[in-house]
């Protein structure tokens, strides 16, 4: 089984996700990172965009959730986390933001799900390698059992 992962995060991080794929050579599967904000699909066909995101989560081994600044408010990425949970896929989280930090009205229960793993880094490249390593170890453990 070849591993690949879906990147979930804000649109302004798309260049960083492209870097993971195109420069570092990691198996990123997320078509949205190549779309321009003014493209027809983004502007006029969000149903098709979301279908592509669904397919990419489905066809990936896991989701890499990335936030860089505490002030970020995730929305689409949280939907993608829900997709991953519904498909039984792990979510590895790099960084924290307002959407993943408990506050007066939310204990962010989704971050306590057994498929959620906080990675001990804020560095996207290191985190991607950590997540891949954890997935490889899980797959080897399954095969050995």
Show the CA angle centred on residue 144, arms to residues 138 and 145, nearest 5°: 90
> pLDDT digits over 84-141, tens only?
999 999 999 999 888 888 888 889 889 999 999 999 999 999 999 999 999 999 999 9
Query: Would you kindly state where each structural domain of the chain is located, as residue ranges?
Result: 5-144
pLDDT at site 93: 96
> pLDDT digits over 16-36, tens only?
999 999 999 999 999 999 998
Domain 5-144 class?
alpha beta
Question: Is it the case that residue 1 has pLDDT exceeding 80?
Answer: no
Report pTM: 0.93
Q: Is 93 helix (H, G, I), strand (E, B) or coil?
A: strand
Q: What percent of the chain has pLDDT over 90?
A: 74
Question: Is it the case that residue 142 has pLDDT exceeding 70?
Answer: yes
C-alpha to C-alpha distances, 117 to 12, 25, 32, 65, 130, nearest whole angstrom: 23, 23, 23, 10, 11
What distance in Å separates the CA atoms of residue 21 and residue 40, rounded to the nearest whole number? 24
> pLDDT digits over 65-86, tens only?
999 887 788 898 999 999 999 9
End-to-end CA distance of the chain: 17
Contact of 106 with 74, CB cutoff 8 Å: no
Length of the chain: 145
> pLDDT digits over 105-118, tens only?
889 889 999 999 99
């Amino acid at each position: 089984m070849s591993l690949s992962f879906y990147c979930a995060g804000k649109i302004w991080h798309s260049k960083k996700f492209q870097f993971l794929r195109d420069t570092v050579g990691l198996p990123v599967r997320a078509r949205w990172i190549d779309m321009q904000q003014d493209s027809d699909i983004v502007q006029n066909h969000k149903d098709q965009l979301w279908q592509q995101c669904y397919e990419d989560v489905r066809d990936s081994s896991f989701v890499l959730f990335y936030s860089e600044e505490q002030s970020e408010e995730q929305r689409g990425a949280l939907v993608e986390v829900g997709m991953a949970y519904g498909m039984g896929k792990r979510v590895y989280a790099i960084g924290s933001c307002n959407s993943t930090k408990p506050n007066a009205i939310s204990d962010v229960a989704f971050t306590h799900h057994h498929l959620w793993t906080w990675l001990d880094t804020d560095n996207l490249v290191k985190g991607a390698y950590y997540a891949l390593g954890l997935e490889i170890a899980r797959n080897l453990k399954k095969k050995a059992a």
